[in-house]
């Protein structure tokens, strides 16, 4: 019977390969639902209950080899305890049960800022699925019209891992060198094989995303698929139940911190960072070697550690170098730390299609639609000088970032911005790493 179920799954998955990629096209030959999953012997579990089975996330999301494997927590899904390794049994790194989860797709990876990830929400909680690229083709989410698809995820054989206090579902844990050239433990990895993706992630019906305001006390957090946030309800967001959710932050303000703005003034920086800035995640940067006439005749590797510097664009991608951009936005202009309520860091990948767009002016206001997350090894959710949690916003598309501001930008505005933005932002050289981390922050702290 077990072999028959496996065979049936493979056959149905192969039939569904030709599923529709557009909401206006006919439905696929097979539409997955609860009846199908349960006929396969699986039991539904909500995402909130699944996360509860993981246990504590604070202090278990490190990737540092020096911290040991005990600080890099994952849970493997097995149908019987005997299928877990001896070490997994000893360290309680397994979950027994033939479970599946389901949820509405709330992310879109078409523009590259969301990469190889699919975020789903089921009315109780949200979670990231670490898959492959081009997910918008098979699991479309139209954020403009509020149409998306429901997906069903077979968990047996997969791994739930904690990366910097964000839980995700993926493939086997890995150990390798990160982009800084440091050895790291990773609690899970991407399911890169399209065949394996189709064996675990099944597309259901087209559904509608609902949107509504989060109450000031946050008690209606599960009433809507997209939560609307403002200055009056933002204080409740520092809690795990909100991580991974799609949120619309309304009337947020861009806040320069420790970086000269368009007026030539330098607002006071946060005690644990300055923004806008970039983060080097490419391991080694290369600086140009020029002849006497100023022509570039080669490139010299510049080995870098974690350093950041003021940045004039949302992110950077040039000469095979891609840097992540960080921009501070929010409602709390008097905050001292990024872990405080009302302060958010917008993360933009150098691999996104809109990496070269200029950062908005200091003080610009508008809305941001983004996946809400945390980045920290540990946190009390209270903020403070030793709580290095960063509450991050990851937009799916350029049109989700302050559209009220960018829609009014003219060519003259861009030229003016280029004059005060960091020199590298308009095609200059990456040869100035004079902006060091604040001395009060250690290298390990910097990774937070």
How buried is 39 (Cβ within 10 angstroms: 0-12 exposed, 13-18 middle, 19+ buried)? exposed
How buried is 437 (Cβ within 10 angstroms: 0-12 exposed, 13-18 middle, 19+ buried)? middle
pLDDT tens figures, 352-364: 999 989 999 999 9
Between the alpha carbon of residue 270 and those of residues 184, 274, 429, the distances in Å are: 28, 6, 27
Least confident of 212-216, 230-234, 297-301, 397-401: 297-301
Average pLDDT over residues 155-167: 97
Q: Residue 128 pLDDT more than 80?
A: yes
First to last CA, the chain: 48
pLDDT tens figures, 58-112: 999 988 888 888 889 999 999 999 999 999 999 999 999 999 999 999 999 999 9
pLDDT at 394: 98
pLDDT at 262: 85
pLDDT at 334: 93
Least confident of 11-20, 221-230, 397-406: 11-20
Nearest-Å Rg of the Cα atoms of the chain is 23
pLDDT at 302: 44
Give the bridge partners for 348, in sequence order. Answer: 325
pLDDT at 313: 86
- pLDDT > 90 in the chain, percent: 63
Token pair for 52: 């509860």
Residue located via tokens 């509608």: 208
pLDDT at 66: 80
Average pLDDT over residues 163-178: 90
Q: Residue 6 pLDDT more than 60?
A: no
How does the average pLDDT of the chain come out, rounded? 84
Spatial contact of 329 and 394, defined as CB atoms under 8 Å apart? no
How buried is 445 (Cβ within 10 angstroms: 0-12 exposed, 13-18 middle, 19+ buried)? middle
Q: What confidence tier does 287 reach under pLDDT thresholds 50, 70, 90? A: low
pLDDT at 24: 54
Give the bridge partners for 171, in sequence order. Answer: 189
pLDDT tens figures, 378-395: 999 999 888 889 999 999
Q: Comparing C-alpha atoms, which of 105, 82, 110, 109 is closest to residue 94?
A: 82
Highest mean pLDDT among 152-156, 175-179, 295-299: 152-156
pLDDT tens figures, 199-209: 999 999 999 99
Q: Comparing C-alpha atoms, which of 351, 298, 312 is closest to residue 109?
A: 351
Q: Residue 432 pLDDT more than 60?
A: no
Q: Distance between CA atoms of 293 and 291, rounded to whole angstroms?
A: 5
H/E run at residue 392: strand 390-394
Spatial contact of 316 and 426, defined as CB atoms under 8 Å apart? no
Highest mean pLDDT among 77-81, 271-275, 302-306: 77-81
């Amino acid at each position: 019977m077990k072999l028959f179920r496996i065979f049936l799954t493979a056959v149905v998955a192969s039939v569904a390969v030709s599923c529709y990629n557009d909401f206006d096209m006919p439905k696929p030959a097979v539409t997955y639902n609860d009846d199908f999953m349960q006929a396969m012997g699986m039991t539904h579990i909500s995402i909130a209950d699944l996360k509860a089975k993981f246990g504590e996330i604070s202090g278990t999301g490190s990737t540092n080899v020096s911290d040991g494997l005990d600080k890099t927590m994952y849970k493997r899904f097995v149908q019987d305890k005997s299928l877990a390794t001896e070490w997994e049994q000893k360290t309680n790194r397994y979950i027994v049960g033939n479970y599946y989860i389901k949820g509405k797709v709330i992310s879109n990876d078409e523009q590259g800022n969301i990469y190889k990830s699919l975020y789903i929400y089921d009315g109780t909680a949200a979670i990231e699925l670490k898959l492959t690229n081009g997910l918008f083709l098979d699991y479309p989410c139209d954020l403009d019209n509020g149409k998306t698809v429901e997906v069903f995820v077979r968990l047996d054989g997969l791994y739930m891992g904690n990366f910097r206090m964000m839980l995700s579902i993926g493939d086997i844990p890995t150990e390798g060198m990160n982009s800084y050239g440091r050895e790291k433990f990773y609690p899970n990895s991407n399911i890169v094989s399209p065949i394996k993706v189709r064996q675990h992630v099944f597309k259901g019906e087209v559904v509608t995303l609902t949107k509504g305001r989060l109450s000031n006390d946050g008690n209606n957090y599960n009433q809507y698929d997209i939560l609307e946030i403002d200055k009056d309800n933002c204080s409740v967001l520092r809690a795990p139940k909100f991580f991974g959710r799609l949120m619309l932050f309304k009337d947020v303000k861009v806040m320069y911190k420790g970086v000269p703005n368009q007026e030539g003034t330098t607002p006071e920086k946060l005690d644990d960072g300055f923004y806008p800035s970039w983060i080097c995640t490419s391991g080694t940067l290369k600086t140009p070697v020029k002849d006497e006439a100023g022509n570039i005749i080669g490139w010299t590797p510049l080995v870098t550690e974690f350093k950041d510097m003021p940045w004039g664009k949302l992110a950077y991608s040039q000469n095979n170098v891609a840097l992540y951009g960080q921009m501070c936005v929010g409602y709390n202009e008097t905050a001292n730390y990024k872990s405080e309520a009302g302060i958010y860091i917008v993360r933009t990948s150098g691999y996104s299609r809109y990496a070269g767009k200029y950062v908005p002016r200091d003080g610009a206001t508008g809305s941001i639609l983004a996946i809400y997350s945390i980045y920290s090894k540990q946190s009390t959710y209270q903020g403070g000088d030793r709580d290095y949690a960063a509450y991050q916003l990851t937009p799916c598309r350029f049109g989700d970032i302050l559209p009220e501001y960018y829609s009014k930008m003219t060519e003259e505005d861009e030229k003016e911005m280029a004059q005060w933005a960091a020199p590298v932002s308009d095609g200059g050289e990456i040869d100035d790493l004079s902006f060091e981390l604040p001395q009060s922050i250690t290298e390990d702290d910097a990774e937070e």
